[in-house]
Amino acid sequence: MNNVNTAAFGELRRSLMIGSVTQWFQSKSFGQQLIILTVVFDPLGFAGGYLLGSSIGLPPLFTGGLGLAAGGLPMALHVMYRSLQVDERSPSSDQ
């Protein structure tokens, strides 16, 4: 019974931590958000591509570059998301 309570508490704690990270990220300015996304995802993408290069038989630097491009995808999606938010808040010029 104690293990069930511990597991439930651990899940609650993880969800609160994710919520606090999300709130922390959203409290930053748009420029800071872009820098954070770049610092986190670009090295992960390059490292992932570089390490997968040998397993698929392609040169590691080539796949590292592909991973770097894939690492930029979250930033591009964030920019698109924010631009849609700005468009929805701006007054319509059709009046």
pLDDT digits (tens, 9 = 90+) for 74-92: 999 999 998 888 766 666 5
User: What's the predicted TM-score (pTM) here?
Assistant: 0.68
Which pLDDT tens digit goes with each residue over 14-61? 666 667 888 888 899 999 999 999 999 999 999 999 999 988 999 999
The tokens for 41 are 């995802």
- According to the model, what pLDDT value does residue 59 have? 93
Closest alpha carbon to 60 in 48, 51, 72: 51
CA-angle at 75, arms to 69 and 80, nearest 5°: 115
Q: Where are the domains of the chain?
A: 2-89
- Of residues 68, 90, 81, the one with CA closest to residue 30: 81
* Residues 6+ positions from 46 with CB-CB distance below 8 Å: 64, 65, 67, 68, 71
Which residue in the block uniquely carries the two structure tokens 């922390």?
A: 24
